[in-house]
Amino acid sequence: MNHRKPQRAVICLYDGFGYDYYERSPLPVMKSMAAEGMVKRGRAVFPTLTNANTVSVCCAAWPSEHGVTTNCYFDEASGTARFLESRDFILAPTIFQRYREAGVRSALLTCKAKTLKLLGEDTVVAVAAEEPTPDVVSRYGAPPPMYSAEVNQWLWTIAIDLLKTRPDIGLVYVQTTDYPMHMWGPDETQSLDHMAMLDERLGEARVVAPDALFLITADHGMNFKTRCLDLRRICAGHGIELRFSVSPVADRLVVHHRGFGGVSYVYLHSKGERAVIQGFLRGLEGVEYVLSRRAAAERFNLMGKRIGDLVVLADRSTVFGDLNAEFEDLGPRYRNHGSLYEEDIPLILYGTDGIVPSPENFVMNFDLTRWLCRTVF
């Protein structure tokens, strides 16, 4: 590590902030920061879901290195789906840990409690809007509901206050919720209002922390989806019994997407069935690719033992999940992610002490934090 104190850094992870939201919202502050610094259309890690991408950004690493490939996994011992909420699953050091070891304090602000459970260690301030502590409530008021755009505003109020009053904190990480993106497409008024609010708060952050470096990106984009398939039921209807199928997008907060997603991990009873089942799934309308565990791990840099025997990828308008029937039409308002079609996200860097690195160094969202770690450690 360099001997001088590293430049204060703010990591803004806007959950669900696909590149289309960046393009189609005015965002005067963010776009002026991008013009002065760097902006690029980048890519999210596959599957395009929150945990895999959040942990990739926070570890500056691929899922093959840190091991987090899902929000929800199949526990072979109990034969049930379980939520991935414990720090033990992360097999690489987090950026918070590396900063702490280097003697620099960090803060983690997030909407969802699960992010705190996964990543809150090694920080001096850790706030989840979902489960605020009494001292947070007494300073900032009670958070708005989790299923609102306002909760993101509340979170940024804390970020701005920390930037203003706690110069001893060298890394501030803010992760909003993607609820507004689940609800509204980039051109809808409510979305434009939400993005304008975020942009205003970013402007305040820049004013109170003119010395800071800003890294802005997202964990995935969002698209309208029209149909859900229950792969286990469809297979059963054709005499094929799957051991298990899990939507890696599922988490405890399912009101806005019901746990469906554009990817499925399918577990088989035996290896011998693989070719037949793979062939059958490939033939389904709405399924684009069916990859073996090994092929998926190689292609997407995933940890093979933490995905299904088969990885099923949906087309743009389809999701997978548990239903009471084989299929369900989702209506015109349903938005979700998880597939290859939610990979496009913005990469923005601002405040780099005059030296702007070449955009060629940045492809994935976590290339931003990888670059940060390289400059700091």
What phi and psi values does residue 20 have, to the nearest 5 degrees?
A: -65, -35
Rounded to a whole number of angstroms, the minimum distance from the CB of residue 220 to Zn ion is 5
Of the pair 194, 206, the CB lying nearest Zn ion is at: 194
Taking residues 118 to 157 in sequence order and writing x for each that binds Zn ion by CB under 5 A, - otherwise, the string is ----------------------------------------
Nearer to Zn ion, 318 or 336 (CB): 336
Backbone angles phi, psi at 34, to 5 degrees: -65, -40
Phi, psi of 167 (to 5 degrees): -65, -15
**CA 347 to the chain's CA centroid:** 14
Q: Contact with Zn ion (CB under 5 A): which of 50, 106, 176, 278?
A: 50
Residue 178 in the binding site for Zn ion (CB under 5 A): yes
Q: Is 15 in the site for Zn ion (CB under 5 A)?
A: yes
CB of 245 to Zn ion, least distance (A): 21
Q: Are 267 and 242 in contact (CB under 8 A)?
A: yes
For the CA atoms of 326, 331, 336, 337, what is the dihedral angle to 10 degrees? 60
Q: What are the C-alpha distances in Å from 162 to residues 43, 100, 126, 156, 165?
A: 30, 17, 11, 10, 5
Interaction between residue 230 and Zn ion (CB under 5 A)? no
Smaller CB separation from Zn ion, 148 or 352: 148
Minimum Å gap between C-beta 113 and Zn ion is 15
Least Cα distance to 335 among 285, 261, 264, 248 occurs for 261
Contact assessment for residue 72 and residue 247, using Cβ atoms and an 8 Å cutoff? yes
The one-character DSSP state at 86 is -
Question: Does residue 251 interact with Zn ion by CB under 5 A?
Answer: no
The binder of Zn ion chosen from 219, 230, 251, 342 (CB under 5 A): 219
Judged by beta carbon, residue 57 or residue 268, the one nearer Zn ion is 57
Please give the size of the binding site for Zn ion, defined by CB under 5 A: 4
Q: Which residues contact 351 (CB under 8 A, 6 or more apart)?
A: 7, 33, 37, 211, 212, 213, 214
Residue of this chain nearest to Zn ion (CB atom): 50
Which CB, 219 or 230, lies closer to Zn ion? 219
Q: Are 212 and 166 in contact (CB under 8 A)?
A: no
- For Zn ion, the closer CB: 27 or 249: 249
Give the x-and-dash track for 299-328 against Zn ion (CB under 5 A): ------------------------------
Q: Footprint of Zn ion on this chain (CB under 5 A)?
A: 15, 50, 178, 219
